[in-house]
Amino acid sequence: MSKLNFGSHPFLLGFEQLERLVERTAKTGSEGYPPFNIEQSSENSYRITLAVAGFAEQDLSITVEESQLVIRGRQSEEDEGRIFLHRGIAARQFQRSFVLADGVEVAGAKMENGLLHVDLMRAEPETVIQTIKIERG
C-alpha cells in the first residue's frame, strides 16, 4: 500500500504547497519557549500573545517571511560587572513561527505587562465567479 500525498490525489490540483505547509508546521510544533496563546477576537481577527518577560521592545523583532509570521527575541548582554549568586531567570533567545493563511495580515503589535500581543486580520473574501469561453477547434 503506497502513501497518498495531497499533491498526488487526482481531485486536489495545485495543493502541493499545502503538503509542504503541513510538513513545516509539524517540524516547528515542538517548541516550548516562550509560552503563547492564540485567541479569535472576532470572525476575522486573531491575537497571538507571547509571554516575553524580561525582553524589551528593542529585543524583539516581528517579520512576515513567505506567509510565515516569525517572532524573534534576543536580549542584550548586560552582565559585565554583575556577579550572580543564583541565576534562575533564563536570558535566552527564541524564535517562534506561525504559518498565516492567504489573506491573513498582521494588523499591529504591542507590549503590555511582559506580554507581546500580535493582532492579525483576515481580509474579507471576495466572491469571484469566472466564466470561461470555449473556443472552437
Query: Can you give the CATH number for the domain in which 68 is found?
Result: 2.60.40.790
Lowest mean pLDDT among 54-58, 61-65, 73-77, 124-128: 124-128
Task: Tell me whether residue 39 is in a domain.
Answer: yes
> Count of alpha carbons within 13 Å of 94, Cβ hemisphere only?
22
Confidence category of residue 37, pLDDT binned at 50, 70, 90: very high
Cα angle value 97/100/126 (rounded, 5°): 170
Residue 91 clears pLDDT 80, i.e. is over it: no
Task: Tell me whether residue 1 is in a domain.
Answer: no
Task: Tell me whether residue 10 is in a domain.
Answer: no
Read off the pLDDT of each residue in 130-136 and give the average, rounded to a whole number.
Answer: 88
Read off the pLDDT of each residue in 85-112 and give the average, rounded to a whole number.
Answer: 89
Residue 75 confidence (pLDDT): 84
Residue 18 confidence (pLDDT): 67
Read off the pLDDT of each residue in 120-127 and give the average, rounded to a whole number.
Answer: 84
Task: Tell me whether residue 24 is in a domain.
Answer: no
Measured over the CA atoms of residue 55, residue 70, residue 61 and residue 81, the dihedral's sign is positive
Residue 1 confidence (pLDDT): 47
Read off the pLDDT of each residue in 19-48 and give the average, rounded to a whole number.
Answer: 80
Of residues 52, 44, 29, 31, the one with CA closest to residue 99: 29
Task: Tell me whether residue 83 is in a domain.
Answer: no
Q: Are strands 68-73 and 60-64 parallel, antiparallel or unpaired?
A: antiparallel
Q: How far apart are CA 36 and CA 17, in angstroms?
A: 26
Confidence category of residue 109, pLDDT binned at 50, 70, 90: very high
Number of domains in the chain: 1
Q: How far apart are CA 51 and CA 68, in angstroms?
A: 20
Question: What's the whole-model pTM score?
Answer: 0.71
Beta carbons within 8 Å of 121's beta carbon, 6+ residues apart: 44, 45, 46, 104, 105, 107
Residue 52 confidence (pLDDT): 93
